[in-house]
A = this chain, B = another copy of it.
Amino acid sequence: MPSYTAPVRDMQFILHELLKIDRHNEVLAGFSEATPDTVAAILEGAAQLSQELLQPLNRVGDREGCRLDNDRVVTPTGFKEAYRAVVDGGWTGLTGHQEHGGQGLPYVLGLAVSEMMASANMAFSMYAGLTSGAIEAIEIGGTEEQKALYLPKMVSGQWTGTMNLTEAHCGTDLGLLRTKAEPQADGSYRITGSKIFISSGEHDLAENIIHLVLARIPGGPDGVKGISLFIVSKFLVDPDGGLGERNAVSCGSIEEKMGIHGNSTCVMNYDGATGYLIGEAHQGLKTMFIMMNAARLGVAVQGLSQAEAAYQNAVVYCRERAQGRSLRGPKFPDRPADPIIVHPDIRRMLMTVKVFKEGARALAYWAGLTVDIIRKHPESETRRKAEDLLGLLTPVMKAYFTDMGFNAANLCLQCFGGHGYIAEWGMEQFVRDARITQIYEGANGIQALDLIGRKLPAHKGRAIQLFFGVAGEFCEKYRDNASLSPFVKPLAGALEQLVDATRWLMRHAISDPDNGGAASMDYLYMMALVALGYQWAQVARICQNQLSNPDDDSFDRRFYQNKLVCATFFMEKVLPETTAHLAKLKAGADSLMTLPADAF
Q: Does the CB pair A421–B435 fall under 8 Å?
A: yes
In the bound complex, residues from chain B placing their C-beta under 8 Å from that of A590 are 568
Q: Are B514 and A344 in contact (CB under 8 A)?
A: yes
Q: Does A185 contact B (CB under 8 A)?
A: no
Please indicate the chain B residues that have their CB under 8 angstroms from the CB of A579 in the complex. Answer: 576, 579-580, 583
A422-464 near B? 1/0 per residue, CB < 8 Å = 1110001001100110111001110011000000000000000
Tell me the bound Cα distance from A422 to B257 in angstroms: 4
Beta-carbon contacts under 8 Å, A296-327 to B: 315, 318-319, 322-324, 326-327
Partner of A171, one of B257, B315, B323: B323
Does chain B have a CB within 8 A of A518? Answer: yes
Map CB proximity to B onto A565-600 as digits: 1 under 8 Å, 0 otherwise.
100110011001101100110010111111101111
A394: chain B residues at CB < 8 Å are none
Check: A517 CB closer than 8 A to any chain B CB. Answer: yes
Tell me the nearest residue of chain B to A598, going by C-beta.
B319
Q: Are the CB atoms of B414 and A444 closer together than 8 Å?
A: yes
List, in ascending order, chain B residues with CB within 8 A of A562's CB: 595, 599
Kindly state whether residue A48 has any CB partner on chain B within 8 Å: no
Within 8 A of B (CB), among A240-296: 255-259
Contact present for A445 and B345 (CB under 8 Å): yes
Q: Which residues of B contact A584 (CB under 8 A)?
A: 572-573, 576
- The interface bits of chain A over 336-360 (1 if a CB of B lies within 8 angstroms of the residue's CB, else 0) are 1101011111111111001000000
Minimum distance in angstroms from A437 CB to a CB of chain B: 10
Residues of B within 8 A of A431 (CB): 258, 435
Give the nearest-CB partner of A346 in chain B.
B445
Q: Is A156 an interface residue (CB 8 A)?
A: no
Instruction: Using known A-B contacts A327-B516, A580-B577, A599-B558, determine if residue A414 contacts B445 with beta carbons closer than 8 Å.
Output: yes
1/0 per residue, CB under 8 A from B, across A34-65: the answer is 00000000000000000000000000000000
A142 on interface, CB distance cutoff 8 Å: no
Determine whether A513 belongs to the interface, using a CB cutoff of 8 Å to chain B: yes
Q: When the two chains form their complex, are residues B345 and A448 in contact, meaning their CB atoms are under 8 A apart?
A: yes
Q: Could you tell me the dominant secondary structure of chain A's interface residues?
A: helix
Task: Tell me if A417 counts as interface (CB < 8 A to partner B).
Answer: yes
Is A481 interfacial (CB 8 A cutoff)? no
The answer to the question of A166 belonging to the interface, with a C-beta cut-off of 8 Å to chain B, is yes
- CB-based contact A347/B593 at 8 Å: yes
A273 to B162, CA, bound (A): 60
Given contacts A417-B443, A428-B435, contact A521 B345 (CB under 8 A): yes
CB distance from A465 to the nearest CB of B (A): 24
Question: Which chain B residues border A438 with CB–CB below 8 Å?
Answer: 414
Tell whether A418 pairs with B256 under 8 Å between CB atoms, given A346-B445, A521-B348, A579-B583: no
Residue in B closest to A63 when the chains form the complex, CB atoms: B256
A75, chain B: closest CB distance, angstroms: 19
CB of A200 within 8 Å of the partner chain: no
The answer, yes or no, to whether A172 is at the interface (CB within 8 Å) is yes
Q: A513: which of B256, B327, B520, B598 is its contact (CB, 8 Å)?
A: B327
Q: CA of A516 to CA of B417 in the docked complex: distance in angstroms?
A: 21
User: Given the complex, which residues of B lie within 8 Å of A336, measured CB to CB?
Assistant: 176
Q: Mark A129-142, 1 if CB is under 8 A from B, else 0.
A: 00000000000000
- Cβ of A477 within 8 Å of any chain B Cβ, yes or no, is no
Please determine whether A172 and B417 come into contact, CB atoms closer than 8 angstroms: yes
Cβ contact within 8 Å between A343 and B576:
no
Give the 6 A-B residue pairs with the shortest CB-CB distance, closest first. Answer: A344-B517, A572-B587, A327-B513, A576-B583, A258-B428, A173-B323
List residues of chain A with CB under 8 Å of any chain B CB: 166, 169-173, 175-176, 196-197, 255-259, 315, 318-319, 322-324, 326-328, 336-337, 339, 341-351, 354, 406, 410, 413-414, 417-418, 420-424, 428, 431-432, 435-436, 438-440, 443-445, 448-449, 512-514, 516-518, 520-521, 558, 562, 565, 568-569, 572-573, 576-577, 579-580, 583-584, 587, 589-595, 597-600
